[in-house]
Structure 1
């Protein structure tokens, strides 16, 4: 039985994840973290029958009880500290929170490897977002000119999203030489060319933040006289992220170090 702590248990994904863990074979909810719902039963707080787990106000408090895996769906400014604290406490970690980059993950990987533990992180745990990454990486081997448009709601605190950032970093490692004029040579307002993400020279990412969007990510490829667009659109429900997160919880038990991207687990 895998004992799971959910940090961000009353958030958008956490509210769907808690019932799924409670109902899943081989998993048990061992802890939950939510500052706004601290002291409540973790099941009752998300609208299901009580599960006998009291929500803690901090991850440090939740780690006082025995557990195996910490799942983090919190905030960009908290996730790195949570992951490092969980690893230091001997827990494996599944990271669903966005906001971390390659340098952050290098530090996390070193900490996990030193402890002999595993961390699975994905910018997006949905299967269609995973396929977006898979197909885009295939296309980049043949079409070097690629840019990413990242769409999210107006209140999203980080840019780009974890989905777009993970995709850009992966593409930057395999794409050929772009034919676009380097952003540093652009006149006018260079910032309108977006930001380069990933290994230099990187992939240009353009982040839009507008009402009515949940999350969309678009990889655009161009060749003379032809274009290819690969796009993922998320709906209003967190349900698509649950199955991938449950898979990661199970798989992280056999991992040492860091695995980034659900695509590295589905095969």
Structure 2
């Protein structure tokens, strides 16, 4: 399934003009084992991907309007940092072309991932997806899952600026679904159906875990897991900072691993264990 030793993996970046996409193109260009063969950004199609990414010289890779057009140049892995409503079509086009996929786009639902997994398995290809490709975000998830073995009461708060369109964040959604599966003790909080007042005040329930999304100016991407026991509490927090570098590093790891397994793997920890 992997490339012949010494042959770079051919990569397409969808969302080439985005915050992560631009830095990812720079990183792929700098990596000796990767080569950019395609880039997608509908609003700036026709421009050179290297110029858009801020490289000193053009790459000779023209940005295309669609993933289908970009696939014509040949690829081994498609990386998607676009919008949740576009991801399934992009991944489907890649898988149909025999190309594995890495999904960094947030906002997908459990049903979306279920269907993507089915598509990937039907074609004996791998798809790697993470709500957050940061290594420290992976540790937030890992430490939270450890705590969930001993504490049944848990809630999540995710923070972002006012323009972030998806709620909850991909990090918070992925974390809530994992905690729902890992929790071994029942919560003691009163069921939402039994509370007085607007049920929305208790947040959205993902699986069985309440999630609260704060969207205000001056906030950076952050996610907190709150655990409570009688007389004590535990908070585990991840702050993303202002650079795309943490996401780029994890995405590069996923690109290099995604052709080593079949089906969908979610979360950077699951990808690294492949």
Q: What range describes the TM-score normalised by the shorter chain of this pair? A: over 0.9
Paired position in structure 2 for 1:73 = 81
Within the candidate set 195, 199, 204, 2:204 is matched to 195
Deviations for 1:150-199, whole angstroms, at most 9, x for unmatched residues? 1111111110010000000000001121000011111111111001102x
Matched, 1:52 2:60: yes
Q: Which secondary structure does the structure 2 equivalent of 1:13 belong to?
A: helix
Query: Are positions 1:13 and 2:20 aligned together?
Result: yes
Q: Does 1:36 find its partner at 2:43?
A: yes
Question: What is residue 173 of structure 2 aligned with on the other side?
Answer: 165
Aligned to 1:253: 259
1:240 equivalent in alignment to 2:259 = no
Contact 1:80 1:100 survives alignment (8 Å):
no
Q: Which runs of 5+ in 2 are unaligned?
A: 1-7
CA distance in 2, matches of 1:206, 1:88: 37
> Structure 1: 5+ residue runs without aligned partners?
none
Q: Which residue of 2 aligns with 1:27?
A: 34
**Could you tell me how far apart the structure 1 residues matched to 2:205 and 2:92 are?**
27
For residue 225 of structure 2, give the secondary structure of its aligned residue in structure 1: strand
| Whole-angstrom CA distance in 2 between matches of 1:25 and 1:212 | 38
Give 3-state SS (helix, strand or coil) of 1:265's partner.
helix
* Mapping of residues 176-195 of structure 1, within 5 Å: 176-195=185-204
Moved over 3 A (4+): none
For 1:19 and 1:123, locate their aligned partners in 2 and report how far apart those are by CA, in whole Å: 22
Partners of 1:86 and 1:159 lie apart in 2 by 27
Q: Secondary structure at the match of 2:227?
A: strand
Aligned to 2:213: 207
Superposition deviation, residue 219 in structure 1? 0.2
Q: Which residue of 2 aligns with 1:63?
A: 71
Instruction: Measure, in 1, the Cα distance between the counterparts of 2:126 and 2:74.
Output: 17
Deviations 1:23-50 (A, max 9, x none): 1021000100011221111001111021
Partner of 2:131: 123
Which residue in 2 is equivalent to 1:135? Answer: 143
Contact 1:145 1:221 in 2 (8 A): yes
Equivalent residue in structure 1 for 2:106, among 78, 98, 101: 98
Normalising by the residue count of structure 2, what TM-score does the alignment of the two structures yield? 0.94
Conservation of the 8 A alpha-carbon contact between 2:20 and 2:248: yes
1:149 and 2:157 are equivalent in the alignment: yes
1:243 and 1:60 mapped to 2: Cα distance? 26
TM-score, scaled to structure 1: 0.97
Count of aligned positions? 264
The 3-state SS of whatever aligns with 1:173 is helix
